[in-house]
Structures are given as structure tokens and as C-alpha cells.
């Protein structure tokens, strides 16, 4: 069963395992003198380090995604912004903003592809319940 949630589409390129993976994520922790409390949202992106639990293959999160069109688009976005940052050094705050924009675009890419997948499935069903509020159909 392919991953569809947190590990959407991820699979170890070495042994084919679909979970679990060790991912170097960042988060905010409430830290006391005697240790940490609960953490807030955990964040990682395509560039985060990732390791297969089973075979210990390690790479980037992006390496664990099969090259579907969606992944290619996401990599293009990540690479594009990465290249830009490489050639245009920015103050840390702006750098972080651009990284957030990159993540947001990648999220949108996922949403877009999921929507197309749903639309495709509806057409396969024979289109018994046409969607009238979409307005994107060209048939007149
Ligand atoms: Zn593996």
C-alpha cells in the first residue's frame, strides 16, 4: 500500500521499503532545565536528510520519491529556488521566506495533482455527476 499521508509517495530507492524512515526534521521544543516538553509542528522538506530504517540507505527526502510528474515538478520548484538562493545570497529572513514559499508551492503542486487525479477518476466513471461550478470545461 503506497504512502498517501505524511510520507506521500515515499519509498526507499535501495530496498523498496515504504516505512519507517528516519527524517531529520526541525521543530520548536519547550525546553526546561530538566528536559524537553512536547514539541510543536514538525517540519521537513525535500532537502531534509532521510534514512531508511530497514537498510540504512541515506539521502534526501527527494531521493525517496519515485520520479512521477508531480515529483519532477516539485523538484523543479525546489531546485529553481535553491539555484536562485545559490546565486543571490539573501539575508537570513528573506532566505527563510523564500524557503517557505518553496514549501507552499510544493504543497500546491500536490493539491493540483490530487485534484487532477480526482477529475480523471470522475471522467473514468462516465461523468454521471458533472460538476457545474467548476467552469473550466470548454465544451459549449
Ligand atoms: Zn531501504
The answer for residues whose C-beta is within 8 angstroms of residue 7's C-beta and 6 or more apart is: 18, 19, 21
User: What is the tally of structural domains in the chain?
Assistant: 2
Lowest mean pLDDT among 61-65, 105-109, 122-126: 122-126
Can you give the residue range of the structural domain that contains 14? 1-65
The answer for residues whose C-beta is within 8 angstroms of residue 134's C-beta and 6 or more apart is: none
Of 45, 65, 85, the domain-final residue = 65
Of 22, 48, 65, the domain-final residue = 65
Q: What is the pLDDT of residue 131?
A: 55
- pLDDT tens digits for range 37-59: 777 788 888 889 999 999 999 99
- pLDDT tens digits for range 77-101: 988 998 999 999 899 999 999 989 9
97 within a domain of the structure (yes/no): yes
Q: How far is the CA of 25 from the centre of ligand 1 (A)?
A: 19
59 within a domain of the structure (yes/no): yes
pLDDT top residue among 125 and 77: 77
Q: How far is the CA of 123 from the centre of ligand 1 (A)?
A: 37
Say if residue 24 is in the same domain as residue 60: yes
Q: How far is the CA of 53 from the centre of ligand 1 (A)?
A: 7
Residue written as cell 522538506? 45
Say if residue 9 is in the same domain as residue 26: yes
Say if residue 60 is in the same domain as residue 19: yes
Q: How far is the CA of 49 from the centre of ligand 1 (A)?
A: 14
pTM exceeds cut of 0.75? no
Amino acid at each position: 500500500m503506497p504512502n498517501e499521508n505524511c510520507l506521500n509517495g515515499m519509498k526507499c530507492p535501495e530496498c523498496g521499503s515504504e516505512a519507517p524512515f528516519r527524517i531529520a526534521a526541525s521543530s520548536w521544543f519547550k525546553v526546561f532545565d530538566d528536559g524537553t516538553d512536547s514539541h510543536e509542528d514538525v517540519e521537513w522538506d525535500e532537502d531534509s536528510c532521510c534514512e531508511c530504517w530497514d537498510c540504512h540507505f541515506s539521502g534526501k527526502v527527494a531521493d525517496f520519491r519515485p520520479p512521477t510528474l508531480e515529483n519532477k515538478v516539485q523538484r523543479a520548484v525546489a531546485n529553481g529556488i535553491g539555484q536562485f538562493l545559490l546565486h543571490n545570497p539573501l539575508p537570513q529572513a528573506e532566505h527563510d521566506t523564500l524557503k517557505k514559499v518553496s514549501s507552499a508551492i510544493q504543497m500546491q503542486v500536490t493539491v493540483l495533482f490530487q485534484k487532477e487525479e480526482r477529475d480523471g477518476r470522475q471522467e473514468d466513471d462516465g461523468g454521471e455527476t458533472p460538476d457545474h461550478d467548476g467552469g473550466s470545461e470548454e465544451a459549449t
